[in-house]
Copies of this chain bind each other. A is one copy, B any other.
């Protein structure tokens, strides 16, 4: 059985103009990986219906088990994610009763707390409950706009807000259990060692050899030093069916590579310099 695959789609002009650092993609990638699924691709597009529809269609054609989107679910004109997904799927947008109830209860609570004057469901508020046909809203524990989920052929599409605290809260409550269940028994394990006194071009054939001898371990070197002082992080990772096997596999690779590095004049540490 192969690992289930996931694509992440981040929506927002602020990412494309470099105003906002994409911490959401990083957070989702790390969480999804730790839950045992493989992140195959991350794509950032702007607040544009055609761009969102196009990337959704392209991602669906690659048949990942999950497509997770973040951003573009709010009340403003440029929150266009659901319109884009609806277009990609040839579905109509409609006011979803469950979603409308979620939104209404939020505004009632805000009014009770004295934060707003009116609980009136104005068009921008109804917009947050206007979903593609045949989809399910996901409760938003910390904000107003619900998440949205649907299954299209063999792919779950899950749309989450772009505000990090809201994205993370819906992810933990509604998405993580689903990923975990679909991932089955796969466990991701990673660790790093650090090498001084060896250049990456000298390390390269040593890594090749250790990876040939340890086919389930992925090893990647990252130059971390300043120009004058080579310092390499060496990152080991594996995905297996239990954590003892993972640790054994990685331990064996670390010992073999450390030995080779020291024979080539380098020094290995288990902590950062």
**Residue ranges of A at the interface with B (Cβ–Cβ < 8 Å):** 13-23, 25-33, 38-47, 51, 55, 58, 74-78, 110, 113, 115-117, 122-125, 128, 142-144, 163, 165, 188, 190, 199-205, 207-208, 211, 218, 220-223, 227-228, 230, 235, 237, 265
Chain B nearest CB, measured from A207 CB (Å)? 6
Residues of chain B lying within 8 A (CB to CB) of residue A29: 15-18
6 CB < 8 A contacts A-B: A17-B30, A17-B188, A18-B30, A22-B22, A25-B44, A76-B203
- Let me know if A41 and B44 touch, CB within 8 A: yes
Closest chain B residue to A144, Cβ basis: B201
Closest chain B residue to A107, Cβ basis: B201
- Let me know if A115 and B228 touch, CB within 8 A: yes
Q: Is the interface of A mostly helix, strand, loop or mixed?
A: mixed
- Let me know if B190 and A19 touch, CB within 8 A: yes
With A42-B43, A43-B41, A122-B201 already in contact, the answer to whether A14 and B235 are too (CB < 8 A) is yes
Residues of chain B lying within 8 A (CB to CB) of residue A39: 16-18
- Let me know if A77 and B18 touch, CB within 8 A: no
Residues of chain B lying within 8 A (CB to CB) of residue A163: 223
Closest chain B residue to A27, Cβ basis: B18
- Let me know if A13 and B76 touch, CB within 8 A: no
- Let me know if A76 and B204 touch, CB within 8 A: yes
A51 to B26, CA, bound (A): 20
Among A19, A165, A188, A208, residue most surrounded by chain B Cβ atoms (within 10 Å): A19
